[in-house]
Amino acid sequence: MYLVFTTNYFPWLTIIVVLPISAGSLIFFLPHRGNKLIRWYTISISTLELLLMTYIFCYHFQLDDPLIQLAEDYKWINFFDFYWRLGIDGLSIGPILLTGFITTLATLAAWPVTRDSRLFHFLMLAMYSGQIGSFSSRDLLLFFIMWELELIPVYLLLSMWGGKKRLYSATKFILYTAGGSIFLLVGVLGIGLYGSNEPTFHFETLANQSYPLALEIIFYIGFLIAFAVKSPIIPLHTWLPDTHGEAHYSTCMLLAGILLKMGAYGLVRINMELLPHAHSIFSPWLMIVGTMQIIYAASTSLAQRNLKKRIAYSSVSHMGFIIIGIGSITDTGLNGAFLQIISHGFIGAALFFLAGTSYDRIRLVYLDEMGGMALPIPKMFTMFSILSMASLALPGMSGFVAELIVFFGIISSQKYFLMPKIFIIFVMAIGMILTPIYLLSMSRQIFYGYKLFNAPNSYFFDSGPRELFVSISIFLPVIGIGIYPDFVLSLSGEKVEAILANYFYR
């Protein structure tokens, strides 16, 4: 393998993709001075990466340009023309910044992990690289490789640092996601090899290529299955509650905050951009599945005794809004889906962090065994209550704006008749009524009543400075986006209009 530099730009994207995993591999060569050195090293690398991303975004990215920016094109493997192609646009910059923010806080949340901490922190940094690589890839084969880079770190983090049923959950996770990856690989190779003697995996080339409708539908179904596992879309969602129920809460933050968003990103980036005719055919089905998912997951969440599984099903329910926004084929709906990706990334990560820190104190995970925690831990009670309100889409919070924009996207869609639109909105409204029921009952079971308060040895430590810092750091963007959503919508607006104008409105 060799690299040939073929661009005039400084390779910013290559640096931010390669830095975490290469710096993470140096963890194994650090001197043996306990876990403190490893923790600070990991947090420093994550923070440096986040600062570097912020610098690139502020000084090298033009918001009003829908085209690919900071493009890099390197010849990697000459034998079959494999390129290292990276580039970002309005759709990828938001998830990349979200990845940097949540991963940095997750490394801080992983402070209590002491067993095999070198390997644990290396795996977190390896995930960091894979996630940023997926969001910035402009080559389908490279996208697949970055997509796969996620699997082994998550499997090891789950199977080595999970709960009692960790091996069952890890096996279920790898079977589902590796099974979905087979469909992704077949789709990537099929599109890349179609219609030419020389295979091409370049996004720009493939976006301008036309396929017979039957073949486009076959490709679309393959990609849809792969992204439905990751998103997750029912009925391919059952790995998620088990994984969240057993994983360490810092891993849950990465899963809920970033990993699920990769599936939604793939739906827009590949299914919408590369296969627009098939997307037009499948979009009514996406709307139906998204609507069913909101109701089904909200109802199932209410029946969960396990705190982390209840939050996991709430994630599945909120992902339904993203699917509906993508299926609406309107700039409003698609912008709403993008805003929900960012919003739920913050809220989901925060709820899992708070659930994990409460477990650290009381060593209980079943809701019917809890109660009366509001008095001993008032700071944690306050943050849990505020972020639960954000999750149930309280006005002034990011979730409310995202779901409202998705509603407007359905109403303004020219693709659907009036009666189907009214029916979908009605069912979504029922889902939005169920959301406060399961979230408020969760808060009531954890914090109110007298169970733990009257129990012997019922004194617990409240949130410390580290935990308060993580909670408040996530809360600030949630309230900021809720008050001024244009900060996020300005990232995606131009690119969304370009996608719809180029592929759907022509």
In this prediction, residue 505 carries a pLDDT of 55
Q: Please indicate, yes or no, whether residues 250 and 356 belong to a single structural domain of this protein.
A: no
Asked if residue 214 belongs to a domain, the reply is no
- At 80-105, the pLDDT tens digits run 667 888 888 888 888 999 999 999 99
Would you place residue 4 in the very low, low, confident or very high pLDDT band (cuts 50, 70, 90)?
A: very low
Q: Please indicate, yes or no, whether residues 251 and 297 belong to a single structural domain of this protein.
A: no
Asked if residue 395 belongs to a domain, the reply is yes
Asked if residue 272 belongs to a domain, the reply is no
Asked if residue 215 belongs to a domain, the reply is no
pLDDT at 162 over 80: no
Give me 15's structure tokens: 């640096």
Would you place residue 504 in the very low, low, confident or very high pLDDT band (cuts 50, 70, 90)?
A: low
In this prediction, residue 231 carries a pLDDT of 83
Examine the fold and report which residue of 260, 290, 313 is the final residue of a domain before the chain moves on.
260
Sole residue written with tokens 């050195």 = 37
Report how far residue 117's alpha carbon sits from residue 157's, in angstroms, rounded to the nearest whole number: 11
pLDDT at 452 over 70: no
Give me 473's structure tokens: 């750091």
Of 100-109, 193-202, 301-310, where does the model show the most confidence? 100-109
Would you place residue 8 in the very low, low, confident or very high pLDDT band (cuts 50, 70, 90)?
A: very low
- In percent, the amount of the chain with pLDDT more than 70 equals 94
CA torsion sign, 416 to 420 to 421 to 425? negative
The three state secondary structure string of 463-506 is CCHHHHHHHHHHHHHHHHHHHCCHHHHHHHHHHHHHHHHHHCCC
Q: Check residues 480 and 454 and name the one with the higher pLDDT.
A: 480
Residues in Cβ contact with 246 at an 8 Å cutoff, skipping those fewer than 6 apart: 158, 162, 163, 164, 165, 166, 168, 169, 170
- Which segments of 187-257 are extended strands (E)? none
The mean per-residue pLDDT over the stretch 195-209 comes to: 77
The mean per-residue pLDDT over the stretch 459-482 comes to: 84
In this prediction, residue 48 carries a pLDDT of 92
Would you place residue 63 in the very low, low, confident or very high pLDDT band (cuts 50, 70, 90)?
A: confident
Sheet of 69-77: strand order equals 4-5, 69-77, 82-88
The mean per-residue pLDDT over the stretch 236-244 comes to: 84
Residues in Cβ contact with 69 at an 8 Å cutoff, skipping those fewer than 6 apart: 60, 61, 62, 87, 88, 89
Q: Please indicate, yes or no, whether residues 252 and 320 belong to a single structural domain of this protein.
A: no
pLDDT at 45 over 70: yes
In this prediction, residue 276 carries a pLDDT of 85
The mean per-residue pLDDT over the stretch 133-157 comes to: 88
* Strand, helix or coil for residue 69: strand
pLDDT at 64 over 70: yes
Report how far residue 207's alpha carbon sits from residue 274's, in angstroms, rounded to the nearest whole number: 5
Asked if residue 318 belongs to a domain, the reply is yes
Give me 9's structure tokens: 């730009």
To the nearest 10°, report the CA torsion of 187, 189, 194, 198. 160
Asked if residue 231 belongs to a domain, the reply is no
Other beta carbons less than 10 A from residue 69's beta carbon: 18
Residues in Cβ contact with 7 at an 8 Å cutoff, skipping those fewer than 6 apart: 71, 72, 73, 74
- Flag the least confident range among 1-5, 177-181, 406-410: 1-5
Q: Please indicate, yes or no, whether residues 317 and 288 belong to a single structural domain of this protein.
A: yes
Helices (H) and strands (E) in the chain, counts: 21, 3
Nearest to 404 by CA among 348, 488, 491, 482: 482
pTM of the complete model:
0.88
The mean per-residue pLDDT over the stretch 291-309 comes to: 86
pLDDT at 298 over 60: yes
Alpha helix stretches (DSSP H) within 272-417: 273-274, 276-302, 307-327, 331-362, 378-391, 398-411
Q: Please indicate, yes or no, whether residues 160 and 307 belong to a single structural domain of this protein.
A: no
CA torsion sign, 492 to 275 to 262 to 127? negative
Q: Please indicate, yes or no, whether residues 312 and 393 belong to a single structural domain of this protein.
A: yes
Q: Please indicate, yes or no, whether residues 358 and 249 belong to a single structural domain of this protein.
A: no
Residues in Cβ contact with 312 at an 8 Å cutoff, skipping those fewer than 6 apart: 240, 241, 243, 244, 245, 256
Report how far residue 315's alpha carbon sits from residue 376's, in angstroms, rounded to the nearest whole number: 28
Q: Please indicate, yes or no, whether residues 310 and 383 belong to a single structural domain of this protein.
A: yes
Q: Please indicate, yes or no, whether residues 66 and 107 belong to a single structural domain of this protein.
A: yes
Give me 420's structure tokens: 């189907």
Examine the fold and report which residue of 235, 260, 285 is the final residue of a domain before the chain moves on.
260
Range of the domain at 431: 277-451+460-505
Report how far residue 104's alpha carbon sits from residue 120's, in angstroms, rounded to the nearest whole number: 14
Give me 117's structure tokens: 């901490």
Q: Please indicate, yes or no, whether residues 437 and 363 belong to a single structural domain of this protein.
A: yes
Nearest to 22 by CA among 103, 110, 122: 122
Calculate the average pLDDT of the chain.
84
Helix-helix angle 486-503:465-483, to 10 degrees: 60
- At 388-417, the pLDDT tens digits run 888 888 888 888 888 888 888 888 877 777
Q: Please indicate, yes or no, whether residues 133 and 170 belong to a single structural domain of this protein.
A: yes
The residue count of the chain comes to 506
Q: Please indicate, yes or no, whether residues 256 and 281 belong to a single structural domain of this protein.
A: no
Number of domains observed in the structure of the chain: 2
pLDDT at 449 over 80: no
Examine the fold and report which residue of 229, 260, 291 is the final residue of a domain before the chain moves on.
260
- At 312-367, the pLDDT tens digits run 888 888 888 899 888 888 888 889 899 999 998 899 889 889 888 888 777 777 77
Asked if residue 188 belongs to a domain, the reply is no
Across-strand partners of 72?
A: 86
The mean per-residue pLDDT over the stretch 35-62 comes to: 87
pLDDT at 197 over 80: no
- In percent, the amount of the chain with pLDDT more than 90 equals 3
Can you say whether residue 411 is alpha, beta or left, with left for phi > 0 and alpha for psi between -120 and 50 degrees? alpha
In this prediction, residue 51 carries a pLDDT of 92
Q: Check residues 164 and 451 and name the one with the higher pLDDT.
A: 164
Nearest to 351 by CA among 388, 316, 310, 377: 388
In this prediction, residue 78 carries a pLDDT of 72
Other beta carbons less than 10 A from residue 291's beta carbon: 24
Asked if residue 338 belongs to a domain, the reply is yes
pLDDT at 1 over 70: no
